[in-house]
Structure 1
Amino acid sequence: MAYLEFDHVSFVDGPIKVLHDISLTIDKGEFISIVGPSGSGKSTFLKLCSDLISHTEGTIMFDGKKIEDYEPCEYRGRVGYCFQEAYLFGETVEDNIKFPYIIKNKDIDMERVTKLFDLFHMSLEYLHKKNTALSGGEKQRICLIRSLLFEPEVLLVDEVTSALDQENTLLVESVLEHLHKQHGMTILMVTHNEEQSRRHVNRRITIESGHVAKWEEF
């Protein structure tokens, strides 16, 4: 059974049909890159996967159930999303780490926090840093850590390395590969980087003018 399935899904934004009649299936544990020209509908596709926006036509199923039938908190606990622009809450890194626990009314799991900081080559001293003192690469790593605190089954990443230098890009890629291979996490990654779109992934989707133009296997 497909883990994530789009059945004749379209999305209309005002007078514009952004996605047209998308039908595809994604299996559990896949690592898929999503490519295509700017404005082709890649980010919209990810937002539909995350239920941040609602599809206009068709059906989206996750783990055998329509996504609109999930409680929002349950669904977003299972499907994590990391945006292209690193947005941080509050004033400090610690504010960002505490926030997901606060909204779930849970105590901070410092063992989990420590493991994630280690994974991204960051010390816990970062917790006390001001958001404004962080570099772009550091902000993006904190956003990824925040998305992974409750270990989602699916991680959606939208151009998260586009503004990073080579060192930070390779670090983020290595973490994604680790999550996929060692934890079986399903990952969907939007990228404009041709080489990145082939590394580590098992399939690649090309979206053009709101249509799935091509599927490739690696």
Structure 2
Amino acid sequence: MSILEIRDLHYEADNTKILKGISMKIEEGDCVSIIGSSGSGKSTLLKICADLIPISKGELIYREKNYKRYNPIELRRKISYCVQLPHLFGDKVYENLEFPYNIRKEKIDKGRIVKLLEKFNLDESFLEKDIKSLSGGEKQRISIIRNLIYKPDILLLDEATSALDKENAMVIEKYIEELNKEGVTVIWITHSLEQSERIFNKRIEISEGQVKSIERI
């Protein structure tokens, strides 16, 4: 059963056609890598899937219902998007990791936060760190943790390990693989052909705003 279906998707900005009739089905439990050259439309596609920018033409279907039939806030809780360049707010790391609880008006589960930090080769002391003192790789990991406090139905990752060394990139991959085995559908943009083959069951190549190929791995 498809969890996400994209039908004849077009996107245009500043009189430039960026997506030109993208169609695909993502099955529930898929772990999909998306590859393609810079400027091919990959990030735009994920932003649209995350309901962050409007489409020019086409349809997006989540669990057999058009995106337009969902409350946007509820949809974005089910479909979680990790941007390539992480944005942390406030002063301390803790402010970012308590945020998912605060917007849901739920009790903060500090134990879960610490457990996730440890999964990502960080420790509890990071909660009190000033976000300005963090490296690019640390910011990237904190941003991913913030997105995973609540497990989504679909996880969208845009170059999620681009600022990480090989060891920490593998840590992220391993955890995402675990989530996928628990039922989270994953769509991950990567520039690394090697990475696109490791944990995925499907690879989609985007070229000049169109699907060039879809292959099972």
TM-score by shorter chain over 0.5? yes
Quickly name the TM-score band, shorter chain normalised: over 0.9
1:44 partnered with 2:44: yes
The CA deviation string for residues 85-144 of structure 1, in whole angstroms up to 9 with x for no partner, is: 121111110010122222222221223223322321222221111111212221111101
Aligned counterparts of 2:2 and 2:190: Cα–Cα separation in 1: 24
The aligned length equals: 217
- Partner residue, 1:149: 149
TM-score by length of 2: 0.96
Cα drift, residue 67 of structure 1: 1.1
1:86 partnered with 2:86: yes
TM-score by length of 1: 0.96
1:215 partner amino acid: I
2:161 partner amino acid: T
Deviates more, 1:125-134 or 1:26-35: 125-134
- Partner residue, 2:199: 200
1:176 partnered with 2:176: yes
Question: What percentage of aligned pairs have identical amino acids?
Answer: 43
Aligned counterparts of 1:184 and 1:105: Cα–Cα separation in 2: 26
RMSD: 1.1
Cα drift, residue 54 of structure 1: 1.3
Cα drift, residue 68 of structure 1: 2.0
Aligned residues of 2:121 and 2:168 also touching (Cα < 8 A): no
2:97 partner amino acid: I
2:52 partner amino acid: L
- Partner residue, 1:215: 214
Q: Which blocks of at least 5 consecutive residues in structure 1 are unaligned?
A: none
Aligned counterparts of 1:76 and 1:34: Cα–Cα separation in 2: 20
The CA deviation string for residues 179-218 of structure 1, in whole angstroms up to 9 with x for no partner, is: 112x211000001011001110000000000000001111
Deviates more, 1:140-149 or 1:111-120: 111-120
Q: Which blocks of at least 5 consecutive residues in structure 2 are unaligned?
A: none
1:165 partnered with 2:165: yes
1:28 partnered with 2:35: no
2:10 partner amino acid: S
Secondary structure of residue in 2 paired with 1:59? strand
Aligned counterparts of 2:93 and 2:111: Cα–Cα separation in 1: 17
2:170 partner amino acid: L
Aligned counterparts of 1:8 and 1:86: Cα–Cα separation in 2: 30
